[in-house]
Structure 1
Amino acid sequence: MSDDLPIGEPMAHTASGALDDEDWAARFADLARSPSSEAGLPLAEAVEQAFALDGPLAKADPHYVAREGQLQLAAAVAQALETRGSLVAEAGTGVGKTFAYLIPLLLSGRRALVSTATKSLQDQLFLRDLPRLREALNVPVTLALLKGRGSYLCLHRMALARETVSLADRFALRALARIEQWSQATASGDLAELDGLDERSPVIPLVTSTRDNCLGTECPRYRECHVMKARRDAMGADLVVVNHHLFFADMALRDSGVAELLPTVDAAVFDEAHQLVDVGTQFLGRALGTAQLIDLARDMLGLGQQQARGVVDWQALASRCDRAARELRLAAGGSMREVYASIKLRWNERAAAADFCAALEAVAAACDAAVDGLSVVSETSPDFVRLQARAQQAAQVARHFAEPPTPEHVRWIDLSAQQARLVEAPLDIREMLTEQRQAAPRAWVFTSATLGDDDGLRWFTGATGLEDAHKLRVGSPFDYAAHARLWIPPRFPKPNESRHPEEVGRLAARCAQALGGRTFVLTTTLRAMQTIAQSLRDELSWAGGAIEVLVQGQQPKRSLIQQFLARPASVLVGSQSFWEGIDVPGDALQCVLIDKLPFPPPNDPLVEARVKRIENQGGNAFSECFVADAAISLKQGAGRLIRSETDHGLLVVCDPRMAQMNYGRRLRSALPPMTQAASEEEALDWLRALALHHDA
């Protein structure tokens, strides 16, 4: 089938040929026990009947609404399953893409893997969506949830943590006590079960394992290992839910269970697929972090003094590794002594510096010394064997970074106040995905609300090698023209002007006052976020302070969202992590401001390398990279506004370039078809009208 032809025509929802409840159960149960071609019921027909107005979904949910776009996407997924083909599908907000791919999977009888963007989305699929659908369809499908090692309690590491947590650290001791108490009752060992445990807690690395420190079959608690239990469950299940980070980490390290699982599945589905390239390049390269080296030093000192005190000078070995790590951090930063936010440095800015080269060699030498010291006691405990392997690997990676990079990869330094990470990554995931797709015939489905701004979805397919896949774009069913307004201030400071962030804050304050809060401000940088938030506070203080300003970083993300929902008279100011994955339906959120067009930073080493490749191939880097990336990010940010058929709201893009520049037309067309306000007063009147309904 040609890529430019629609895959699966919309099917009418009629009552003709309706089945009674017993027939539904019998036919779907038969279908689930074997692939549809063997069950006698074509998968396309089963999918159409599942979505029918008299079908099992409608019977299970009295509020069920048939959506043409959802059925069109489900039909395309069914076709990919039947033909073991590849599908790239963009589905707008409200289409119901989750059910559109889950129902064909459940009805197909095929073994499948579903990958999501985050662990919270994993939990939503596994704990809510899949059980509901399995019950509604009455299919005997076994489900499993598989996360990375860092999500599961390691019983052996927890026992060691009792010896390493300082008695002076009351918060760490309290968190460890909670974990130990919970460990007595948990069946899964998934730390997500622990309410209130901050995912940034320093105790978590102490009670979880990594590929480096896991003892495998030599662990004294191996029979009770939660990671191994999760992997066994995954290998025995019909449908397994993973996440993108785990998928790519395992493809790179052959460690986390997916490499063993993938060859056994007939279908792989990637939801929120727009994140695949960034996640994939992160894991398919190499990295050396100073925090990783400091952890090695800490573990070596703790274990050595606990199990082999006096045999080796553990203090000297650990101090040498720790000192080498800290010197590498200083050398990586060069003249930048004070770093308040994570930044990326070009590799060639530091690679040739004498102190940087010396620091890399010092790391390799310190790790070599650790290997020699650990060899003395390696036969006494498997923990020492793993420590020795970690030190050996760190020495190898340090020497790798001392050599020049290959043309197919790009290197940079991630620098923060706490650590430096040396990173080497491929420019995209084409090679890896092509290799996996050619390895065995199976269905591959990639879906998201944002995969490009053209019918060929080239932004996504070009970076993934999926130009040959079938492509489908399904628009949102929401009435954006009636329910949403777009305002682009034409006479506004340009983003490069110093007063731009302050003016964004003032405009946000006017919007929040007209609406009574219920506003998000999405920023492209952390620096602008702080300036905008302060300007917003200053403006609102003149109005009596009735509207609260919440800012990213004050509390964990989940707590901020809960506080925003609990108090409607609020404005939440957030940067990158709030542009997507936030679902606030109803009138709790009715205004979203975006400070400026989200072009990728031109001095980002990965962006620079991609631009160079596009130009070397004769392409237009500004159009193919910068505008294309901005269109995707803009669609994601705008997607926070309208989340249901009854939502209303205003989107404000505080960047006059969107109205004035030639590429602005392309960016405006990438957004949902909102009605454009002609003036600020018209935009504020729209918000005042919405505010009248809050107390109605």
Structure 2
Amino acid sequence: MAGVPSTETTSTSDVDEVLDAVVTRMGGARREGQHEMARAVAAALEGDTHLMVQAGTGTGKSLAYLVPTLLHAVRTGERAVISTATLALQRQVLGHDLPLVAEVVEEKLPRPPAVALLKGWHNYLCKHKVTGGYPPEEDTALFDMAPESASAAEEHPAGSARDDSLGSQVVRVRAWADETDSGDRDDLVPGVSDKAWRQVSVTSMECIGQSCPLRSECFPEAARQAARTADVVVTNHAMLGIAASGSPGALPEFDALVVDEAHELPSRVTAQASVELSAPAVERVARLARRQAGAATQALDDAAALLRTVLTATPEGRWPEALPPEIEGAVRAVADAAREVLSSIKQDSVKAGAKEGDAGGGLAQARSAALVLFEITDRLLSDRLRNREDVVWLSRGMGPGEAIKINVAPLDVAGPIAGHLLAGRGAVLTSATLTLGGTFDATASSMGMGGADYEGLQVSSPFDYGRQGILYVAKHLPKPGRDGTDPQVLDEIAELIEAAGGRTLGLFSSRRGATAAAEAMRERLTTPVLVQGDDSIPSLVRSFAADPATSLFGTLSLWQGVDVPGDSCQLVLIDRIPFPRPDDPVIAARTEVVAKRGGNGFMAVSATHAALLLAQGAGRLIRGVADRGVVAILDPRVATARYGTFLSRSLPPLWPTTDPRVVRSALRRLRGEKA
């Protein structure tokens, strides 16, 4: 598929030999766990089977899957897709690991491996838009584009260009457009805000395609053409989510799949398949249709007003079985009006307008917006809610001016993942946290696999967790309440940080809790305390890593992906078990389904969610063979509740204790050793 296939297969000796050569060239040492994983990956790809590999920090899992994947793809002619969840890992794979592996692997192959990077259409600059082929974007997006990952939002925050006006950012991007060879937003340094980027990019639906006068210079199309001829395509979980949601053309044809950070895949697929409807969104479609296409929009304006009225009068919450009659009537009015607008903006007129210059882009934007609106209403009016395929609820924004929204999310993504991504091909799913409660069962089930559908492998870690770290559960503290941080908990936090001399990463279940704790610690401690919101996440992490006396507090953005080895992070504080909110509509619906099938909904949904986050949070401590420290969980339920054992089995095998004196003494010794 990707090239001329060969009858030659990849042997375990080949994999071992090439992996040894790569590691040697990097100046590293042989790790048996890494070789064990590489051989298992080769076997899965050769046999078109599914493999789940839990490989912790320090295993070197990216090299362990890259070596057999490149060998397999070139020798068989079968294209492989490699997906990562974060921009940081994608950059590591593309910028460092993959080129090195390709250089070594080439010596074993008849030709060099061809590698391509593929992202969503809106991640690339549109030359036609830059040269005036589309009208300027309005201040607010119609339907927010889902970010590729949490890290994407952090690495392109509005704050990253906080000293630039929107106009100066756009000017800078336009100048960059004449220099870039890729058009990839991630190659623009420093970055710009989402609002500025929307001025120079389009979605795939807004693209005017073959009618574009700059089609031959199209950056996203060039990326897709390269992917269609590559041996290995590196992409992200957002693209897998689009493919799993019923748009297989988002990816080139492929025969093998490797998913790194695979624990993130179900949530990313859920995010890509979720949509929302609000009166302001409908009103914006009407404005676009009038301004860019000259369409009559009275019916759509009236439907938006009706929707606003009924949503304002409807209480917040989930609709378990069907839309309320008044809501259904308003949504149906929007659907009918959107259909009228679509009928008035024919696809042929979009193509004809493109030949006339600016009008083509405006017509494409208007038609795209109307089509998205119609598809959302069509989904709301379908049988998906009644058939328990979707979860639908009403939410009211917390901030001033935030819209009242109808939200739609898939109840389950296991079927789409199994059917669209895994079926009929070899697949490797790997992460540091795939086993929950000591088994792969929960994670495999979330991806549509039963016990007979995959092989599970836990590779040995180079870390001696029992000697390098302590797991401290503060059993003596009160059970966490809903109203702020308990004074006893604040006392515990202060005493632990004092013993550690700073060096603390505080992981909190809410922004309010993190902020309250940070303010309290700033009053009590002499060492610096940073808190999420003070600056962008990358800047905060750099400041934390640079000064061992500093502590950093935050919420979910810090639970995953923070990599600070060495003396700066010797204490990881977790304020409470990170259960999802009990009123979360998707969690509640999934819990009900499990219960109706005779299962334990709490354990299958909430406890599993919490176990995954706890494992990710605890994993921030030991990042290297020389690291030492403590993971302190300030929630006694880990030690006292029946589900506590399940949670504990999901954590790294640190030495356990509930004695605060032991922990403080250990932290003081660590601080003294480094003094």
Answer yes or no: same fold by TM over 0.5: yes
For this structure pair, what is the TM-score category when the shorter chain's length is used for normalisation? 0.7 to 0.9
Structure 2 residue ranges without an equivalent (≥5): 140-162, 355-359
Partner of 1:143: 115
Which amino acid counterpart does residue 669 of structure 1 have in structure 2? R
Partner of 2:414: 430
Structure 1 pair 256/535, CA: closer, same or farther in 2 (3 Å)? farther
Rounded Cα–Cα distance in structure 1 between residues aligned with 2:337 and 2:364:
17
Rounded Cα–Cα distance in structure 2 between residues aligned with 1:275 and 1:510:
35
Deviation, 1:522, is 0.9
Which amino acid counterpart does residue 565 of structure 2 have in structure 1? P
Partner SS state of residue 432, structure 1 = helix
Which amino acid counterpart does residue 186 of structure 2 have in structure 1? A
The one of 180, 186, 196 equivalent to 1:186 is 180
The one of 96, 102, 126 equivalent to 1:134 is 102
Partner of 2:145: none
Structure 1 pair 181/291, CA: closer, same or farther in 2 (3 Å)? farther
Rounded Cα–Cα distance in structure 2 between residues aligned with 1:360 and 1:616:
30
The one of 222, 232, 235 equivalent to 2:228 is 235
> Are residues 1:119 and 2:87 paired?
yes
Does the CA contact (< 8 Å) of 2:126 and 2:201 recur in 1?
yes
What are the residue-to-residue correspondences of 1:650-689 with 2, within 5 Å?
A: 650-689=630-669
Partner of 2:544: 564
Partner SS state of residue 588, structure 1 = coil
Partner SS state of residue 500, structure 1 = coil
Q: Quick check: 212-221 or 380-389, which moved more?
A: 380-389
Rounded Cα–Cα distance in structure 1 between residues aligned with 2:194 and 2:411:
32
Rounded Cα–Cα distance in structure 2 between residues aligned with 1:529 and 1:76:
42
Which amino acid counterpart does residue 366 of structure 2 have in structure 1? L
> Are residues 1:412 and 2:385 paired?
no
Deviation, 1:374, is 4.4
Does the CA contact (< 8 Å) of 1:501 and 1:531 recur in 2?
no
Does the CA contact (< 8 Å) of 2:115 and 2:230 recur in 1?
yes
Does the CA contact (< 8 Å) of 1:122 and 1:145 recur in 2?
no
Partner SS state of residue 268, structure 1 = strand
Rounded Cα–Cα distance in structure 1 between residues aligned with 2:71 and 2:138:
53
What are the residue-to-residue correspondences of 1:445-484 with 2, within 5 Å?
A: 445-453=428-436, 456-467=439-450, 468-484=453-469
1:495-528 CA distances to partner (integer Å, 9 max, x unpaired)? 1253535544443333333323221111122332
1:434-476 CA distances to partner (integer Å, 9 max, x unpaired)? 3336864x21111111122356511111122222111112243
Does the CA contact (< 8 Å) of 1:161 and 1:206 recur in 2?
no
Structure 1 pair 65/414, CA: closer, same or farther in 2 (3 Å)? farther
Structure 1 pair 238/687, CA: closer, same or farther in 2 (3 Å)? same
RMSD: 3.2
Rounded Cα–Cα distance in structure 1 between residues aligned with 2:407 and 2:39:
41
> Are residues 1:633 and 2:613 paired?
yes
Rounded Cα–Cα distance in structure 2 between residues aligned with 1:674 and 1:399:
51
Rounded Cα–Cα distance in structure 2 between residues aligned with 1:438 and 1:684:
48
Rounded Cα–Cα distance in structure 1 between residues aligned with 2:469 and 2:42:
34
> Are residues 1:158 and 2:130 paired?
yes
1:69-106 CA distances to partner (integer Å, 9 max, x unpaired)? 11111111111011111111222222221111111112
Structure 1 pair 324/654, CA: closer, same or farther in 2 (3 Å)? farther
TM-score, normalised via structure 1 length: 0.82
Structure 1 pair 551/266, CA: closer, same or farther in 2 (3 Å)? same
Partner SS state of residue 165, structure 2 = helix
Structure 1 pair 193/324, CA: closer, same or farther in 2 (3 Å)? farther
Rounded Cα–Cα distance in structure 2 between residues aligned with 1:411 and 1:335:
14
Q: Quick check: 499-508 or 464-473, which moved more?
A: 499-508
Rounded Cα–Cα distance in structure 2 between residues aligned with 1:591 and 1:477:
20
What are the residue-to-residue correspondences of 1:162-561 with 2, within 5 Å?
A: 164=136, 171-198=165-192, 200-252=193-245, 254=247, 257-258=250-251, 261=252, 263=253, 265-284=254-273, 286-288=275-277, 292-293=281-282, 296-297=285-286, 299-300=288-289, 303=292, 312=294, 317=297, 328=307, 332=311, 345-347=317-319, 351-352=323-324, 354=326, 356-357=327-328, 359-361=330-332, 363-364=334-335, 367-368=338-339, 370-371=341-342, 374=345, 379-381=352-354, 382-383=360-361, 384-402=363-381, 405=385, 406-413=387-394, 415-416=396-397, 417=399, 418-436=402-420, 440=424, 442-453=425-436, 456-467=439-450, 468-496=453-481, 498=483, 500=485, 503-540=488-525, 543=526, 547-561=527-541
> Are residues 1:576 and 2:576 paired?
no
Structure 1 residue ranges without an equivalent (≥5): 1-31, 305-311, 337-343
Which amino acid counterpart does residue 543 of structure 2 have in structure 1? Q
Structure 1 pair 352/683, CA: closer, same or farther in 2 (3 Å)? same
Structure 1 pair 642/364, CA: closer, same or farther in 2 (3 Å)? same
Paired residues, number = 628
TM-score, normalised via structure 2 length: 0.84
Deviation, 1:674, is 1.4
1:17-49 CA distances to partner (integer Å, 9 max, x unpaired)? xxxxxxxxxxxxxxx99778x33x742111122
Deviation, 1:672, is 1.5
Which amino acid counterpart does residue 102 of structure 1 have in structure 2? L
Give me the identity figure in percent: 33
1:236-257 CA distances to partner (integer Å, 9 max, x unpaired)? 1111101111122134353763
Rounded Cα–Cα distance in structure 2 between residues aligned with 1:643 and 1:443:
31
Q: Quick check: 91-100 or 41-50, which moved more?
A: 41-50
Structure 1 pair 252/625, CA: closer, same or farther in 2 (3 Å)? closer
Deviation, 1:334, is 5.3
Partner of 1:590: 570
Rounded Cα–Cα distance in structure 1 between residues aligned with 2:570 and 2:305:
47
Does the CA contact (< 8 Å) of 1:148 and 1:256 recur in 2?
no
Deviation, 1:625, is 2.5
Which amino acid counterpart does residue 507 of structure 1 have in structure 2? E
Q: Quick check: 202-211 or 423-432, which moved more?
A: 423-432
Which amino acid counterpart does residue 586 of structure 2 have in structure 1? L
Deviation, 1:229, is 0.6
Rounded Cα–Cα distance in structure 2 between residues aligned with 1:429 and 1:380:
40
